[in-house]
Homo-oligomer: A and B are copies of this chain.
Amino acid sequence: MNHFSYYNPTRYVFGHGEYQNVGKLLHGRTKKLLLHYGGGSIKRSGLYNAVVNALNDAGIAFIELGGVKPNPCLETVRTGIALCREEQADCILAVGGGSVIDSAKAIAMGCAHQGDVWKLFTGEEQLSAPPLPVATILTLPAAGSENSPNTVISNPATNRKLGYGHELLRPMLSIVCPELFLTLPQEQMAYGACDMLCHIFERYFTNTPGTELTDALCEATMRTIMQQASILRQEPGNEAAWAQLALSGTIAHNNILGLGREQSWTCHALEHELSAVYDVPHGAGLAVIVPAYFDAVWRANPGIFAQWAVNVMGVSASRDTERVVQEGIRRLRAWYRELGLPQTLQELGIPAEADVAAMAAGACSVRAGGILPGVKALNQAEAQAVFEACR
């Protein structure tokens, strides 16, 4: 196990109806906040009115910015920064899924930063001051942004989708209410579960030795995500299953499962190229990328892949490691199929003439030395081969 320093000061409040306490929970923490959200769903569901009432009851002033789209855009972030500066907002309340929360985090750091917020994502600048505090009410469990120190933003002008991480980006407060997920479309549940699972894959498949505890915690969470998503595929209105899936999504990405492990994030880097250019749902893109990536790298560390196949995918242990690993990957593909997820670039709606060489170059460009890390490091040609295998 490697050295690590872990710091996670988010107050995490979980339970049916807890969003009604948002005013009390934020009381004394803000003079004026930016209420940030996506499309019309929170207005249709009544959540918007409930949140507005809770803020009013607590005497918390607020301004609003809606309209955040999946794969949240730099343009909205810039609008939010200008608005917060003009109105002297001192806190962002994100009501939404990972896209809204990531947008809120980018606004929060852009408000504090002296320079250009996008240059934080490209690595050209370093954050010059602590970001504004962010609070969240989660409406879609998937990205784990409600408790992670990360944000991912797309810049359509340059076809780039880039992440930024800073421990001060963990939300001050996150409220998770399982009943808010009951009306989500099936494909959103599937994308979310796929994203959660991949957050663990990026941590679990490592060459770091001496990781028994986090191995076992990762395996426990992976099994739970798969079980609960399969239940929700049959019973979308099962609130107890949503509670388990949502909490799993938080644990999957708050880095408890990654403590002291060298991490990869190569599947995310590859998928971000698909989303940036073709605006596909992140979870759908991951379902296509992950099995092809596993096929490409497992031979570099058959032990960890066989352990996963046995402990997570239920494959019988055997000395025939290749058979065990292949069966594990086959079962993962079958589970993706069970959830209705795409299997190929074509099924994702990406045209045959897609420039996979350019996407491989893009993915490699944001990593040190142009190499994508993991149990087997990938150069640009190898990254391109993974994209090719997804056709």
Binding site for B on A (CB under 8 A): 1-16, 18, 209-210, 212-214, 216-217, 219-221, 223-224, 227-228, 240, 243-244, 247-248, 251, 256, 259-260
Contacts and interface: CB of A to CB of B under 8 A. Distances in A.
A219 B223 CA distance: 13
B1 A240 contact: yes
Nearest to A2: B15
A237 B251 CA distance: 32
Contact of A15 (B3, B18, B244): B3
A14 B259 contact: yes
A3 B223 CA distance: 23
A210 B16 CA distance: 14
A221 B227 contact: no
Given A212-B227, A217-B220, A12 B1 contact: no
Nearest to A227: B212
Given A8-B8, A216-B220, A247-B260, 17 more contacts: A3-B18, A5-B12, A6-B12, A6-B13, A7-B12, A9-B9, A209-B240, A212-B244, A213-B220, A213-B221, A213-B244, A213-B247, A213-B251, A216-B223, A217-B220, A217-B251, A251-B256
Contact of A11 (B2, B6, B213, B224): B6
A14 B3 contact: yes
Contact of A259 (B9, B217, B247): B247
10 contacts: A1-B244, A3-B15, A3-B18, A5-B11, A5-B12, A5-B13, A6-B13, A210-B244, A216-B220, A216-B221
Contacts of A18: 3
Nearest to A6: B12
Contacts of A216: 220-221, 223-224
